[in-house]
Each structure stands twice: as structure tokens, then as C-alpha cells.
Chain A
Amino acid sequence: MKKSIVSIFFVAVGLWFAASALAQDLGPHFKQVKEGIYVYAAVLNEANSTIIRTSDGVVLIDTGQSPKDSHVVAAAVKKLTSDPVRFIIHTEPHPDHVMGDFVFAPPAIVVAAEGATASMKQSESFSPARIERETAKSPEMRDAFKGFRLVPPNVEYRNRMTLNVGERTFDLYYLKNVHSEADSAIWLPKERVLFTAASVAVKRFGNHRPLVSIPDTLDAIRMMKALKPEVVIPGHGVTGSAKILDDMENYYDALMKGVGAMVKQGKSLDEIKKELKIAGTEDWEGKDRFPNNIEAAYRAVKGN
């Protein structure tokens, strides 16, 4: 009798270990942020890719900076579970988030906001010449790109969508004009985990294309803050708390005020770019992007 109790105990412990693979078992660049949710980025500030386990299969949020990373994520999924990757949700359609979709789809179903396919098809980043340049970078990269094909999303939603997989719910919110042509925030209400897309960054200036609107970005940040997230996973950079949202809100507020005041003083855009400083951003990365942040604020101030 005692023997069978001991063996049941060992089986239970073994099962527990098998079921709850620790992030460090997946590799050095994985971080478990909640039970069954693992964030990966090989290098700080490269695009995050997240594995989310459910009782009905795996959901990925983005597929990594490059196909090399996608293969690392695929290997981690296999370590965690024998379940398939059922869905990939894009936070944006840029190549550093979606290039490796082909590693998982099919069978994975790719979900994105409306406009993602058009953005991907128009982008030079997926052209054969660009892929050739990428694969020429190293033999590992050439291997990683084997079987590459552009995988446009199977599902494009407008404004809002909910995805239920197993016990988990994913609320998708389209974020307008925050970074790319089709940005999605993904909210897991039960887990209180929020994926912000590249609408925010961590101590880093965002790369603002001409379509980006700072007032729309501020609206998006305030909407996401209202969800009261416990864990915030940005498109790039380390996972944190709602403080990431506070910091970016403060930054954009200060940027808008600074640019607005200088416009009132009659300063030109070039003068503003030379003179404007935002306190608290001295140690931020991506300083070469600060001018395009000013341009976005200038457009907003001028009402363009």
C-alpha cells in the first residue's frame, strides 16, 4: 500500500514537471510571464514573440524577428506540448513580426486587423530580392528561410474581435495610426495580460512612419490603460507593468506640449528638431528616431 502511494506521488510530481516547463528550460531568451505564457526575443528590443498554451492548442502572438527566431519558438512549443499551433495573432504586419509565419501556417490560422494583407503585399520587405539578401546573411539564415512563402492572414477583422481557444479568451482591438497599417492590441482579460503592439516602447523612441498620429496613439494608450493590465508585453522590449503605458503617455504628452509651444513661438520644424529636448528621455535608445517623433507631433499640432 505504502509502495503504491509513493509511486503515485512520483508519477504526480513527474507529470507536474512535464506540464509546467520552466522558461529556462526553453532557452535563455524565454521569460514566463504567467502560467503557460512565454515571451521570447533573442536580443533586447528585437520583436517579441509569445507562446500561449491553452487546453485546445497553442496561440502565438507574432512569430519572431526572423525565421531563425521562429524556428527557436517552434522548438520551444514542441518542448512544451504536443498540441499544434492553432492561431497566430499579428500585432502588426511588418516583417520582424510576421516573416516566420510560414514555419507554423498551415495548420495555424493567421489573424490580423484589416489592412494587414494589403500592407504585406505592398511591402518591399517580402520581395524575392529582399529575401535573397536576408538569406545571404549566414548559412543559418539560409536554412531558416527554407520553405519560405508569404503567408497573408486568413482572418482580418475590423475594429474588434474575440478569439476563444480552450480556456483562454483573446480580445483583439484594432489600434488606428499607432505604428503600421494594421496594429492590434491583444488583451487576455482573465490573465490580465496585454500585448500593446508597437504603440508603446520601453525606454526607446518608436519609429514613427508618416501615417502615425500621436493623438490616436494617446487615445490607444488611454484605452489600454483602462483595461488595467497586470502584465504589459510591448511589440519590442522587456515585459513590464502598466508603468510602460504611463511612461509613454507622459512622453507623448510632453512631446505634444513641447512642439506646440515652439510652434506658437513661430519656430520652424527644423528649428524644433534642433532645439527640443524631452526631460527623462536622456537614456532612451533609438535617438535617431526622435526627429520622426517630432515630425509626428508637428503634424498633429498643425492639424495635418
Chain B
Amino acid sequence: MRLKVFALCAALSSFLFAGPLPAQDLGPGFHKVKDGIYTFAPDQTTTTCSMIVTTDGVLMIDSCNNSLDSKKMLAAVKKVTDKPVRFLVDTETHNDHTWNHFVFSPPAVVVNAQGAAEGMKKGLDPKRAETLAKQSPEVAEIVKNYKFIAPQIEYKDRMMIQLGERTFELIYLKNVHSEADTIIWLPKERVLFAGSAANVRNMINLRPHVRFGDVLAGYKVMRGLNPEIVVPGHGPPTTAKIFDEYEGFYTLLMKRVGEMAKQGKSLEEIKKELKMPEYADWAGQDRLGANIDVAYASLKGN
């Protein structure tokens, strides 16, 4: 009888210890967002990547900023579960989110919106693996297995993934950052992966095709979901307040660019003269020029 009680206690305590791991056990840079949801975001600007554990395997969001981060993420996945990474959803097409697919796929099925493979191919440097291998023996060891992996699934507009007990709603956002941007919404958990439409107090590297009308429409969609936690494409988990902050920034930027354009100033003059002192503490100040370009194109209706 005493033996049975002892065995029961041991089983119970091992069950308790097998519960969700605190983020600190996964290493520096990991944040526990909710039970079974972990994000790797070492600082305010580095690309985030996340894992969501389900009873039927893991779904990852983005494949991390670089190969060393991907390796850390893979080690963290193995600490948390013995189940495979079954899906890898990209929030965008750029290298800092997608280049390390090969670390997880196969077996992971890679998913993004329509146009993702084409977008990835455009930004592909065929010598990147070779260049990165020179960084360190550790990087060389990882990138020797490099293989370009395009998404196996490209959806148009909307898609839903059901994995174990969790539901992931994928929504395409047009013209907000890359050639194919996806936000991922977990309705039961009220967690939103917002991609790079809004980050954390960081001027975003806006490409010429981005349009503020579409970006603001994207914020409206995301706010409408009423998320409890927002995981941006760069920076640590936060809340929907980032949409307000960026909306404020872009609205003020458009207003100022509009006023200067009305005064007959050229784009070059605007870029030289326009200041945004209210946002002087944001990271990425060297990107203000690209932001002005987009504001100017958005106002001109190009």
C-alpha cells in the first residue's frame, strides 16, 4: 500500500513538472505568451519567431532572424514537446522571416499567402549560405544543410488551420509590408501574430509597394479581432496599442507630407525638411526617408 501511495505521488509530481515550461527555461530571449505559446524576441527590433504547441504537434510562426536563432528555437521546441513541427506559417516573405525554413521543413508544411514563393525568389541571394558560413563554424554547421524551401501552401484571402485543440485563422493583408503578408489569429487564446505591419516603437523598412491606406485598413481588421496579446514581426509581445501608435505616426506623417506637397515642395525637399520629433525615440530613424516615400506615393494615389 505504501509503495502504491509513493508511486502515485511520483506520478503526480512528474505530471505537474511536465506542464507548460516557463519561458526562462527555454533560454534568454524567449517569452511565454500563453500556455504552450512561446515567442523568441531577444530585443525590440530583431525578427520574432514563435512556437505554438498543440496535442497534434507544433505550429511555428516564421523561421527566425538567423540560423542560430532557428537552432535555439528548434532546441526549445524539443524541450517543450516530443511532437514534430507540423506547420510553419510565414508572416511575410523576407529573408529574416523565411530563409531558415530548411531548419524546420520537412517535416513542417510551410504556409503563406499567394505570391509568397515569387516574393521569396525575388529576394534570394544564391551566395547567402556561403557568405553566412564564414561567420562562424557553428553557423557553417547549420547552413551546410541550406535548401530553398518555398511555401507548400499558398492561400488567397483567408485560410484556417486546425491543429489539435487549436484553431489558427490566417488573413492576408495587402500592401502592408512584403509581397505576401499574413496575420495569424488564435480566436480561443485571443493571441494575434501581426507580422510587420506594426512593430514596437521602430520605424519599419517600408518598400515602395506599401500603401498607407491599406496599412490603416489592416490595423482596422486587426483591432476588430480584439486581441488580448499581439506578437509583432519584430520585438517582444505587446498589445493592440501598437496599432494606435503606428496609426498615429502614419496619420501625422501623411498630414505633414500632404501640407508640404501643397506648398509645392518636391519629394526630395520634403525628405530633407520633414521631421517627426514626436517619434525621435523610435528605433530605425534612418528609415524615415522610406516612410516619407510611401506617404508621398499614398497621397499621390500612385
Using a CB–CB cutoff of 8 Å, the interface residues on chain A facing chain B are 56, 86, 106, 109, 111, 114, 117, 152-165
Tell whether B162 is near chain A: CB-to-CB under 8 Å: yes
The count of A-to-B residue pairs whose CB atoms sit within 8 angstroms is 58
Q: Do residues B157 and A165 form an inter-chain contact, with CB atoms below 8 A?
A: no
Chain B 160-185 near chain A by CB (<8 Å), digits 1 or 0 = 11110000000000000000000000
B21 to chain A, nearest CB (A): 24
Count chain B residues whose beta carbon lies closer than 8 angstroms to a beta carbon of A. 21
Q: Do residues A155 and B153 form an inter-chain contact, with CB atoms below 8 A?
A: yes
Q: Which of B152, B158, B160 contacts A163 (CB 8 A)?
A: B152
Q: Do residues A153 and B162 form an inter-chain contact, with CB atoms below 8 A?
A: yes
Q: Do residues B157 and A158 form an inter-chain contact, with CB atoms below 8 A?
A: yes
Q: Which of B57, B152, B154, B158 contacts A165 (CB 8 A)?
A: B152
Q: Do residues B106 and A163 form an inter-chain contact, with CB atoms below 8 A?
A: no
- Set of chain B residues within 8 Å of A163, measured between Cβ atoms: 152-153
Q: Do residues B106 and A160 form an inter-chain contact, with CB atoms below 8 A?
A: no
Tell whether B238 is near chain A: CB-to-CB under 8 Å: no
Tell whether B249 is near chain A: CB-to-CB under 8 Å: no
Q: Do residues A152 and B162 form an inter-chain contact, with CB atoms below 8 A?
A: yes
Q: Do residues B109 and A158 form an inter-chain contact, with CB atoms below 8 A?
A: no
Q: Do residues B161 and A155 form an inter-chain contact, with CB atoms below 8 A?
A: yes
**Bound-state Cα–Cα, A154 to B165, Å:** 11
- Is chain A's binding surface mostly helix, strand, loop or mixed? strand
* Given A161-B153, A161-B154, A165-B152, also A156-B159 (CB < 8 A): yes
- Set of chain A residues within 8 Å of B150, measured between Cβ atoms: 164
**Bound-state Cα–Cα, A49 to B244, Å:** 51
Tell whether B117 is near chain A: CB-to-CB under 8 Å: yes
Closest 4 CB pairs of A and B: A160-B156, A158-B158, A156-B160, A162-B154
Tell whether B81 is near chain A: CB-to-CB under 8 Å: no
Mind listing 11 A-B residue pairs with CB under 8 Å?
A86-B109, A109-B86, A111-B153, A114-B158, A152-B162, A159-B157, A161-B156, A163-B153, A164-B151, A164-B154, A165-B152
- Set of chain B residues within 8 Å of A86, measured between Cβ atoms: 109
- Interface residues in B114-130 by Cβ distance below 8 A to A read 114, 117
A82 to chain B, nearest CB (A): 15
Q: Do residues B159 and A154 form an inter-chain contact, with CB atoms below 8 A?
A: no
- Interface residues in B60-110 by Cβ distance below 8 A to A read 86, 106, 109
